[in-house]
Copies of this chain bind each other. A is one copy, B any other.
Amino acid sequence: MLVNGRNSDTLPVLDRGLLYGDGLFETIACIDGQMPLWERHMARLSRGCHRLGIRMPSQELLASEAASLVTARRQVLKILVTRGEGGHGYFPGDGETTRILYTRSWPQRGDDAIRAHLCRTRLAKGSPLAGIKSLNRLEQVLAARETQAAGCTEAILCDADGFLVEGRMSNLFWVSRSRLFTPTLEYCGVAGVMRDYVLEVAGKAGIDFETVTCTPETLAQAESVFLTNALGLRLVSECNGNKYDSDAVPFEITAAINGLLKQA
Protein backbone atom coordinates (compact mmCIF):
# COMPACT_ATOMS: atom_id res chain seq x y z
CA MET A 1 0.00 0.00 0.00
CA LEU A 2 1.31 3.44 -0.93
CA VAL A 3 0.27 6.64 0.84
CA ASN A 4 1.66 9.65 -1.03
CA GLY A 5 4.29 7.41 -2.56
CA ARG A 6 5.51 5.87 0.68
CA ASN A 7 4.91 2.39 2.01
CA SER A 8 2.32 2.92 4.72
CA ASP A 9 -1.00 1.52 5.80
CA THR A 10 -2.10 4.45 7.96
CA LEU A 11 -3.39 7.96 7.40
CA PRO A 12 -3.56 11.03 9.68
CA VAL A 13 -6.92 11.14 11.49
CA LEU A 14 -7.25 14.80 10.43
CA ASP A 15 -7.25 13.88 6.74
CA ARG A 16 -10.48 15.29 5.34
CA GLY A 17 -11.08 11.98 3.57
CA LEU A 18 -11.96 10.57 6.99
CA LEU A 19 -13.50 13.68 8.57
CA TYR A 20 -15.93 14.44 5.74
CA GLY A 21 -15.51 11.80 3.03
CA ASP A 22 -13.84 14.69 1.18
CA GLY A 23 -12.38 12.67 -1.69
CA LEU A 24 -12.86 10.20 -4.50
CA PHE A 25 -11.90 6.68 -5.44
CA GLU A 26 -11.50 4.32 -8.36
CA THR A 27 -11.63 0.51 -8.43
CA ILE A 28 -9.56 -0.69 -11.37
CA ALA A 29 -9.20 -4.09 -13.05
CA CYS A 30 -5.55 -5.08 -13.62
CA ILE A 31 -5.03 -7.95 -16.04
CA ASP A 32 -1.65 -9.24 -17.22
CA GLY A 33 -0.04 -5.98 -16.14
CA GLN A 34 -2.54 -3.92 -18.12
CA MET A 35 -5.38 -1.73 -16.92
CA PRO A 36 -7.71 -1.78 -19.92
CA LEU A 37 -10.04 0.96 -18.66
CA TRP A 38 -7.26 3.19 -17.23
CA GLU A 39 -8.01 6.22 -19.43
CA ARG A 40 -11.68 6.15 -18.48
CA HIS A 41 -10.85 5.81 -14.77
CA MET A 42 -8.50 8.79 -15.00
CA ALA A 43 -11.11 10.83 -16.89
CA ARG A 44 -13.73 10.16 -14.20
CA LEU A 45 -11.28 10.86 -11.36
CA SER A 46 -10.36 14.12 -13.07
CA ARG A 47 -14.03 15.10 -13.46
CA GLY A 48 -14.58 14.29 -9.77
CA CYS A 49 -11.55 16.36 -8.69
CA HIS A 50 -12.82 19.25 -10.80
CA ARG A 51 -16.31 19.02 -9.29
CA LEU A 52 -14.92 19.00 -5.73
CA GLY A 53 -12.11 21.48 -6.35
CA ILE A 54 -9.43 18.94 -5.36
CA ARG A 55 -6.05 19.09 -7.11
CA MET A 56 -5.79 15.98 -9.27
CA PRO A 57 -2.52 14.07 -8.77
CA SER A 58 -0.41 13.63 -11.89
CA GLN A 59 -1.66 10.71 -13.98
CA GLU A 60 1.92 9.68 -14.73
CA LEU A 61 2.65 9.49 -11.01
CA LEU A 62 -0.51 7.43 -10.38
CA ALA A 63 0.37 5.14 -13.30
CA SER A 64 3.93 4.53 -12.09
CA GLU A 65 2.82 3.92 -8.49
CA ALA A 66 0.09 1.60 -9.75
CA ALA A 67 2.60 -0.35 -11.86
CA SER A 68 4.86 -0.82 -8.82
CA LEU A 69 2.03 -2.45 -6.86
CA VAL A 70 0.58 -4.87 -9.41
CA THR A 71 2.10 -8.32 -9.10
CA ALA A 72 -0.51 -10.95 -9.95
CA ARG A 73 -2.02 -11.94 -13.29
CA ARG A 74 -5.37 -10.61 -12.21
CA GLN A 75 -5.75 -8.03 -9.46
CA VAL A 76 -7.91 -5.14 -8.35
CA LEU A 77 -6.27 -1.75 -7.81
CA LYS A 78 -7.88 0.87 -5.60
CA ILE A 79 -6.91 4.53 -5.89
CA LEU A 80 -8.19 6.98 -3.28
CA VAL A 81 -7.67 10.71 -3.64
CA THR A 82 -8.58 13.05 -0.78
CA ARG A 83 -8.29 16.79 -0.17
CA GLY A 84 -5.73 16.02 2.55
CA GLU A 85 -5.52 17.90 5.84
CA GLY A 86 -6.38 21.48 6.61
CA GLY A 87 -9.19 23.96 6.70
CA HIS A 88 -11.63 24.38 9.56
CA GLY A 89 -15.21 23.28 9.85
CA TYR A 90 -16.09 22.19 6.37
CA PHE A 91 -14.03 24.99 4.78
CA PRO A 92 -11.18 23.57 2.71
CA GLY A 93 -7.66 24.70 3.52
CA ASP A 94 -4.77 24.68 1.08
CA GLY A 95 -3.41 21.29 2.08
CA GLU A 96 -1.84 18.84 -0.33
CA THR A 97 -3.97 16.20 -2.01
CA THR A 98 -3.56 12.75 -0.44
CA ARG A 99 -3.22 9.78 -2.79
CA ILE A 100 -3.53 6.18 -1.64
CA LEU A 101 -3.03 3.14 -3.84
CA TYR A 102 -3.38 -0.50 -2.90
CA THR A 103 -4.23 -3.79 -4.52
CA ARG A 104 -6.47 -6.61 -3.46
CA SER A 105 -7.08 -10.01 -4.94
CA TRP A 106 -9.57 -10.49 -7.73
CA PRO A 107 -12.91 -11.47 -6.16
CA GLN A 108 -13.81 -15.14 -6.27
CA ARG A 109 -17.09 -15.49 -8.07
CA GLY A 110 -18.64 -17.78 -10.57
CA ASP A 111 -20.12 -16.79 -13.91
CA ASP A 112 -23.63 -17.84 -12.94
CA ALA A 113 -26.46 -15.40 -13.27
CA ILE A 114 -27.50 -14.00 -9.89
CA ARG A 115 -30.70 -13.22 -8.08
CA ALA A 116 -30.72 -9.47 -7.41
CA HIS A 117 -32.54 -7.91 -4.48
CA LEU A 118 -34.74 -4.86 -5.17
CA CYS A 119 -33.67 -2.52 -2.34
CA ARG A 120 -36.04 -0.60 -0.10
CA THR A 121 -33.05 1.64 0.74
CA ARG A 122 -33.38 4.62 -1.59
CA LEU A 123 -30.72 6.91 -3.01
CA ALA A 124 -31.16 10.60 -2.16
CA LYS A 125 -32.01 12.62 -5.23
CA GLY A 126 -30.65 15.90 -6.55
CA SER A 127 -27.18 15.45 -5.11
CA PRO A 128 -24.41 17.77 -6.29
CA LEU A 129 -22.36 14.54 -6.22
CA ALA A 130 -24.44 12.76 -8.89
CA GLY A 131 -22.29 10.78 -11.32
CA ILE A 132 -18.95 11.04 -9.49
CA LYS A 133 -17.42 8.31 -7.32
CA SER A 134 -16.91 10.12 -4.04
CA LEU A 135 -15.99 8.68 -0.64
CA ASN A 136 -19.55 9.44 0.58
CA ARG A 137 -20.84 5.89 0.19
CA LEU A 138 -23.04 5.30 3.21
CA GLU A 139 -26.16 4.77 1.13
CA GLN A 140 -24.36 1.86 -0.56
CA VAL A 141 -23.34 0.47 2.84
CA LEU A 142 -26.97 0.57 3.99
CA ALA A 143 -28.04 -1.07 0.73
CA ALA A 144 -25.36 -3.74 1.27
CA ARG A 145 -26.70 -4.49 4.75
CA GLU A 146 -30.18 -4.87 3.31
CA THR A 147 -28.87 -7.04 0.44
CA GLN A 148 -27.04 -9.30 2.88
CA ALA A 149 -30.18 -9.64 5.01
CA ALA A 150 -32.10 -10.62 1.85
CA GLY A 151 -29.56 -13.39 1.14
CA CYS A 152 -28.37 -11.81 -2.11
CA THR A 153 -24.99 -10.61 -3.37
CA GLU A 154 -26.23 -7.77 -5.54
CA ALA A 155 -29.16 -5.42 -5.52
CA ILE A 156 -30.95 -2.87 -7.65
CA LEU A 157 -31.55 0.58 -6.18
CA CYS A 158 -34.11 3.29 -6.85
CA ASP A 159 -33.96 6.97 -6.04
CA ALA A 160 -36.13 8.70 -3.44
CA ASP A 161 -38.93 9.09 -6.01
CA GLY A 162 -38.88 5.38 -6.85
CA PHE A 163 -37.06 5.51 -10.20
CA LEU A 164 -34.41 2.95 -11.10
CA VAL A 165 -30.81 4.18 -10.72
CA GLU A 166 -28.18 1.43 -10.55
CA GLY A 167 -26.93 -1.68 -8.82
CA ARG A 168 -25.45 -1.55 -5.34
CA MET A 169 -21.93 -1.58 -6.75
CA SER A 170 -22.67 -1.68 -10.45
CA ASN A 171 -24.67 -0.03 -13.21
CA LEU A 172 -27.94 -1.46 -14.45
CA PHE A 173 -28.90 -2.42 -18.01
CA TRP A 174 -31.81 -4.28 -19.47
CA VAL A 175 -32.87 -5.47 -22.91
CA SER A 176 -36.42 -5.17 -24.11
CA ARG A 177 -37.54 -5.86 -27.72
CA SER A 178 -33.92 -5.83 -28.85
CA ARG A 179 -33.26 -2.37 -27.41
CA LEU A 180 -30.79 -1.70 -24.60
CA PHE A 181 -31.81 0.52 -21.67
CA THR A 182 -29.99 2.03 -18.71
CA PRO A 183 -31.22 4.60 -16.13
CA THR A 184 -30.25 8.25 -16.35
CA LEU A 185 -27.71 9.29 -13.70
CA GLU A 186 -28.57 12.99 -13.73
CA TYR A 187 -29.87 13.17 -10.16
CA CYS A 188 -27.89 10.46 -8.34
CA GLY A 189 -25.79 7.35 -8.91
CA VAL A 190 -22.26 6.70 -10.13
CA ALA A 191 -21.43 6.83 -13.83
CA GLY A 192 -19.40 3.62 -14.12
CA VAL A 193 -16.47 3.36 -16.51
CA MET A 194 -17.82 0.00 -17.75
CA ARG A 195 -21.22 1.62 -18.32
CA ASP A 196 -19.49 4.13 -20.62
CA TYR A 197 -17.71 1.30 -22.39
CA VAL A 198 -20.92 -0.72 -22.86
CA LEU A 199 -22.69 2.30 -24.36
CA GLU A 200 -19.74 2.91 -26.68
CA VAL A 201 -19.73 -0.72 -27.80
CA ALA A 202 -23.50 -0.59 -28.34
CA GLY A 203 -23.13 2.57 -30.43
CA LYS A 204 -20.40 1.05 -32.60
CA ALA A 205 -22.33 -2.22 -33.03
CA GLY A 206 -25.49 -0.41 -34.13
CA ILE A 207 -27.46 -1.60 -31.09
CA ASP A 208 -30.30 0.80 -30.24
CA PHE A 209 -29.95 2.10 -26.72
CA GLU A 210 -31.70 4.62 -24.54
CA THR A 211 -31.01 6.35 -21.20
CA VAL A 212 -34.31 6.41 -19.36
CA THR A 213 -36.27 7.32 -16.21
CA CYS A 214 -38.31 4.23 -15.26
CA THR A 215 -39.78 2.53 -12.22
CA PRO A 216 -38.89 -1.11 -11.34
CA GLU A 217 -42.20 -2.22 -12.92
CA THR A 218 -40.47 -1.65 -16.26
CA LEU A 219 -38.20 -4.61 -15.50
CA ALA A 220 -41.23 -6.94 -15.61
CA GLN A 221 -41.25 -6.46 -19.39
CA ALA A 222 -37.48 -6.89 -19.82
CA GLU A 223 -36.15 -10.01 -21.55
CA SER A 224 -32.75 -9.72 -19.96
CA VAL A 225 -31.19 -7.73 -17.11
CA PHE A 226 -27.48 -7.30 -16.40
CA LEU A 227 -25.16 -5.34 -14.13
CA THR A 228 -21.71 -4.02 -14.98
CA ASN A 229 -18.77 -2.63 -13.06
CA ALA A 230 -15.05 -2.27 -13.64
CA LEU A 231 -14.60 -6.00 -13.00
CA GLY A 232 -17.09 -7.20 -15.58
CA LEU A 233 -20.66 -8.04 -16.43
CA ARG A 234 -23.05 -10.01 -14.26
CA LEU A 235 -26.27 -11.47 -15.58
CA VAL A 236 -29.38 -11.25 -13.41
CA SER A 237 -31.49 -14.40 -13.36
CA GLU A 238 -34.23 -13.04 -11.14
CA CYS A 239 -35.31 -9.82 -9.47
CA ASN A 240 -38.52 -8.79 -7.75
CA GLY A 241 -40.31 -11.97 -8.87
CA ASN A 242 -39.31 -11.63 -12.55
CA LYS A 243 -37.07 -14.15 -14.30
CA TYR A 244 -34.67 -13.29 -17.07
CA ASP A 245 -33.06 -14.98 -20.02
CA SER A 246 -29.34 -14.44 -20.52
CA ASP A 247 -29.58 -15.08 -24.27
CA ALA A 248 -31.19 -11.70 -24.89
CA VAL A 249 -27.97 -9.78 -24.05
CA PRO A 250 -26.41 -8.62 -27.34
CA PHE A 251 -23.41 -10.87 -28.05
CA GLU A 252 -21.35 -7.83 -29.15
CA ILE A 253 -21.49 -6.51 -25.58
CA THR A 254 -20.52 -9.73 -23.80
CA ALA A 255 -17.83 -10.41 -26.40
CA ALA A 256 -16.35 -6.92 -26.01
CA ILE A 257 -16.27 -7.12 -22.20
CA ASN A 258 -14.85 -10.63 -22.22
CA GLY A 259 -12.20 -9.50 -24.69
CA LEU A 260 -11.35 -6.46 -22.62
CA LEU A 261 -11.00 -8.51 -19.42
CA LYS A 262 -9.54 -11.53 -21.24
CA GLN A 263 -12.20 -13.79 -19.85
CA ALA A 264 -13.24 -17.04 -21.44
Shortest CB-to-CB span from A183 to chain B, Å, is: 16
Cross-chain contact A92 with B20 (CB below 8 angstroms)? no
Shortest CB-to-CB span from A52 to chain B, Å, is: 7
* Choice from B19, B80, B134, B161 contacting A126 with Cβ under 8 Å: B161
* Choice from B1, B52, B83, B134 contacting A13 with Cβ under 8 Å: B1
Chain B residues within an 8 Å CB radius of A12? 9-11
Q: A140 interface residue, CB < 8 Å from B?
A: yes
User: Taking the full assembly, how many copies of this chain does it contain?
Assistant: 2
Q: A144 interface residue, CB < 8 Å from B?
A: yes
Size class of the A contact interface (CB-based, 8 Å): 35 or more
Q: A206 interface residue, CB < 8 Å from B?
A: no
Chain B residues within an 8 Å CB radius of A168? 90
15 contacts between A and B (CB under 8 A): A9-B14, A15-B18, A19-B25, A20-B135, A20-B138, A20-B140, A21-B136, A52-B141, A90-B141, A90-B169, A91-B145, A124-B127, A124-B129, A129-B139, A136-B137
Residues on A lying within 8 angstroms of B by beta carbon are 1, 3, 8-22, 25, 52-53, 80, 82-83, 87-92, 100, 102, 107, 121-129, 134-145, 147-148, 159-161, 168-169, 187-188
